[in-house]
């Protein structure tokens, strides 16, 4: 069990550019979640997958955001036409399929849009 891995750790981009983040969950976990955290705030839910199916999306996930988990293993989160308000820590988490399974988080990708 190597934990949840996220790449890159930091990303600096100019406004208007597209960025993509990757998350590798714990191998036996079939649920994968994306959260966003801004400074001084708790994480906010963005979306989650059960295997390869995206089952829930937050209203925070505008049309510029898209997430995929093509083979039910790793996931990508893409932000198109980035805006300064997208600057945040993007956290990925995974869990087993049981409803009371705790979430295990990665160390996040910190995005800075200049």
Partner 1 sequence: KQEVTQIPAALSVPEGENLVLNCSFTDSAIYNLQWFRQDPGKGLTSLLLIQSSQREQTSGRLNASLDKSSGRSTLYIAASQPGDSATYLCAVKGSNFGNEKLTFGTGTRLTIIP
Residues that bind partner 1 in the complex, under the rule CB under 8 A? 4, 6, 31, 33, 35, 40-45, 48, 55-56, 58, 91, 93, 99-100, 102-108, 110
Least Cβ distance, residue 51 to partner 1 (angstroms): 13
Q: Is 51 left (phi over 0), alpha (psi -120 to 50) or beta?
A: left
The C-alpha atoms of residue 111 and residue 87 are separated, in whole angstroms, by 5
User: Measured from the CB of residue 48, what is the shortest distance to partner 1 in angstroms?
Assistant: 5
Of the pair 10, 64, the CB lying nearest partner 1 is at 10
C-beta closer to partner 1: residue 30 or 76: 30
The sign one gets for the Cα dihedral 4, 5, 10, 14 is negative
Q: Confirm if 80 and 64 have CB atoms less than 8 A apart.
A: yes
Task: Report d(CA 110, CA 15) in Å as an integer.
Answer: 15
State the nearest-atom distance from the C-beta of 111 to partner 1, in Å: 13
- The owner of tokens 């308000």 is 85
Minimum CB separation from partner 1 for residue 81, in Å?
26
Per-residue tokens: 112: 């800075």
CB nearer to partner 1: give 19 or 34: 34
Residue placing its CB nearer to partner 1 in the complex, 10 or 81: 10
């Amino acid at each position: 069990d190597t934990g949840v891995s996220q790449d890159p750790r930091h990303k600096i981009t100019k406004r208007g550019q597209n960025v993509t983040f990757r998350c590798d969950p714990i191998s036996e976990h079939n649920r994968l979640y994306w959260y966003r955290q801004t400074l001084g705030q708790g994480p906010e839910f963005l979306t989650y997958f059960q295997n390869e199916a995206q089952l829930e999306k937050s209203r925070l996930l505008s049309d510029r955001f898209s997430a995929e988990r093509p083979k039910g293993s790793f996931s990508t989160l893409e932000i198109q036409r980035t805006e300064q308000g997208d600057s945040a820590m993007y956290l990925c988490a995974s869990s087993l399929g049981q409803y009371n399974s705790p979430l295990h988080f990665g160390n996040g990708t910190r995005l800075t849009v200049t």
